[in-house]
Amino acid sequence: AQTVTQSQPEMSVQEAETVTLSCTYDTSESDYYLFWYKQPPSRQMILVIRQEAYKQQNATENRFSVNFQKAAKSFSLKISDSQLGDAAMYFCAYVPTYGGSQGNLIFGKGTKLSVKP
């Protein structure tokens, strides 16, 4: 079975500092997508960043970047220059490329990120 594990239930970071959220996953597939979603108190899931497994280059989106280690099945999220608006639940998610759909995601349990002013 495919699983996603987030081992940090809560993390805290000082405003303007950098924080890294961890995620590991288990799959026998070779082609898949990995995602980080943000869920603020408004409850709406917002896509932060996406990584295709066949791409060796780590994805980046402005202050957000990932460290994708395919052999280790690790997919961490780094948030640089943290802002108060980054405070939210962050979910790591996985979907296989074949037989799956980006609407059929497997999520981890989430990491609650607090940002201190």
Partner 1 sequence: DAGVTQSPTHLIKTRGQQVTLRCSPKSGHDTVSWYQQALGQGPQFIFQYYEEEERQRGNFPDRFSGHQFPNYSSELNVNALLLGDSALYLCASNLRANTEAFFGQGTRLTVV
Binding site for partner 1 (CB under 8 A): 4, 33, 37, 42-47, 50, 91, 93, 97, 100-110
Q: Which is nearer to partner 1, 79 or 108 (CB)?
A: 108
**Structural contact between residues 76 and 21, judged by C-beta atoms closer than 8 angstroms:** yes
Instruction: Work out how close the CB of 17 gets to partner 1 at its nearest, in angstroms, rounded to a whole number.
Output: 26
CA angle 76, 82, 87 (to 5 degrees): 80
Name the amino acid, one letter, at 68: F
| Identity of the residue, 55 or 81, whose beta carbon is nearer to partner 1 in the bound complex | 55
CB count within 10 Å of CB 15 equals 13
Min separation Cβ 94 and partner 1, Å: 11
Q: C-beta of 18: minimal distance to partner 1 in Å?
A: 24
Is 103 or 117 the residue whose CB approaches partner 1 more closely?
103
Give the integer Cα–Cα distance in Å for 28 and 7.
Answer: 21
Min. distance of Cβ 78 from partner 1 in angstroms?
A: 20
Spatial CA neighbour of 111 closest among 26, 22, 30: 22
Please tell me the total number of residues recorded for the chain in this structure: 117
* Residue whose CB is less far from partner 1, 44 or 57: 44
